[in-house]
Structure 1
Amino acid sequence: MAILPITIYGDKILRVHTKPVPEVDDSLIETIQNMFTTMRKANGIGLAANQVGLNKKLFIVDVSPVEGYEKYKPVVMINPEILYQSDELTVMEEGCLSLPDLRADIERSEKIKVRYMNTDENVVEIEADDLFARVILHEYDHLIGKMIPDRVTEDLRKVLQKDLIKIMNREVDIDYPITQKS
């Protein structure tokens, strides 16, 4: 499996509403396998297709490396739709492979319901909570062009501005491949 370069904050593909996936074919399966390889190399627990430069409405999640979530299976969500988000909100620190070395407290719904197509082209509906729900919502944000800076207060965004500029200029110390500055 190939390790794909990850797109970094400032790349236009991260700001688009991704296009639905019409069908699952061998090429898409290979892409998904490469996404899992890439995500694991970068020590991530979620990765959206546009984070590897693809305008596709799909993401992967694997929270099993996190203590307490070992029983969770990796999941591929194609053309996901968020059907429900609870009014109960929690704040947790989040990071993002497209924002290396940047972390921020983000408020999200504690529980969600999501519908998606799996790699067998079956439509699935699941309920998720806690970290699993948070990662799904984070990755879903990518599919609609949103990132961590869009979820923080204006004051915090100003504080993060220097770090965001460094990231855009590829002034980051990471051990996974990233796209070149365009």
Structure 2
Amino acid sequence: MTVREIRIYGDPVLRTKCAEITEFDEGTSALVADLIETVELPGRAGVAAPQIGVALRAFSYNVDGQVGAILNPRVVETRGEAVPTSEGCLSVPNLWHDALRHPYARVEGVDVDGRPVTLEGEGLFAQMLQHECDHLDGVVYLQRLTPEERRVAMREVRESDWF
């Protein structure tokens, strides 16, 4: 198990639609272990595989004492109107903006052994589910901002010391 380096906005892997995981082997187990160890650092709610350079459909989470991982997740239900929600991203360091997120989300996928898993929740957990599934589709939260907010955010990205 290893804490993996987070890829930063501009890295092509963050804009790549990830492939389904089809083999549940030692490699898959090692990826899940790395995702969990990486998300367990303070201040992290979720880490998607592309954020550590792996273009596969998997993410780990660490919200309100719930820590785990899900493979091949798909958002199957959202409830409530999408509202501006303060959001940040490890791949877009030190920037927080209001992304449009639904207050409830349900995701279905599988665990490291290929068994069905359902994750659902409200508030921060729902936000994390939507954010991490977006990563697996090559979407960074900046794309969920209103046009005005996105202009501001992109200027901040260009002026940042990490871009």
Normalised TM-score (structure 2): 0.90
**Bigger mean CA offset, 50-59 vs 38-47:** 38-47
Q: After TM superposition, give the deviation of residue 107 of structure 1 in Å.
A: 2.2
Residue type at the aligned position of 2:50: N
CA contact (8 A) 1:42 1:97 kept: no
Larger Rg: 1
The alpha carbon displacement at 1:26 in A equals 1.4
Match of 1:75 in 2: 68
Summarize the alignment of residues 77-116 of structure 1 with structure 2, pairs less than 5 Å apart: 77-116=70-109
Give the counterpart letter for 1:11 in structure 2: D
Q: Which residue of 2 aligns with 1:18?
A: 18
Q: Which residue of 2 aligns with 1:177?
A: none
Q: CA RMSD for the aligned pairs? A: 1.8
Q: Specify the SS of the correspondent of 1:18.
A: coil
For structure 2, the residue ranges without an aligned partner over 5 or more in a row are none
Deviating more after overlay: 85-94 vs 9-18: 85-94
> Aligned partner of 1:59: which letter?
F
* % identical aligned pairs: 29
- Counterpart CA distance in 2 for 1:28 and 1:124 is 16
Q: How many residues align?
A: 163
Q: Which residue among 109, 113, 117 is the counterpart of 2:110?
A: 117
Question: In structure 2, what residue type is equivalent to 1:4?
Answer: R
Q: Offset of 1:166 from its aligned partner?
A: 4.1
Cα offsets for 1:36-61 (capped at 9, x unmatched): 22223363110000000001001111
Q: Which residues in structure 2 correspond to 1:20-59 (within 5 Å)?
A: 20-41=20-41, 43-59=43-59
Query: Which residue number in structure 2 is paired with residue 176 of structure 1?
Result: none
Output the amino acid matched with 1:81: R
What TM-score do the two structures reach when normalised by structure 1?
0.82
Which structure has more relative contact order (CA 8 Å, sep 6+)? It is: 1
Question: What's 1:6 paired with?
Answer: 6
Shift of 1:121: 1.2
SS in 2 for 1:104: strand
- Of 27-36 and 75-84, more deviation after overlay is shown by 27-36
CA shift in 2, pair 1:89/1:154, >3 Å: closer
**Separation (CA, whole Å) in 2 of partners of 1:61 and 1:28:** 16
Q: CA deviation at 1:104?
A: 0.6
For each residue in 1:12-47, what CA deviation from the matched residue of structure 2 results, as whole angstroms up to 9, or x when unmatched?
110111000002211221222222222233631100
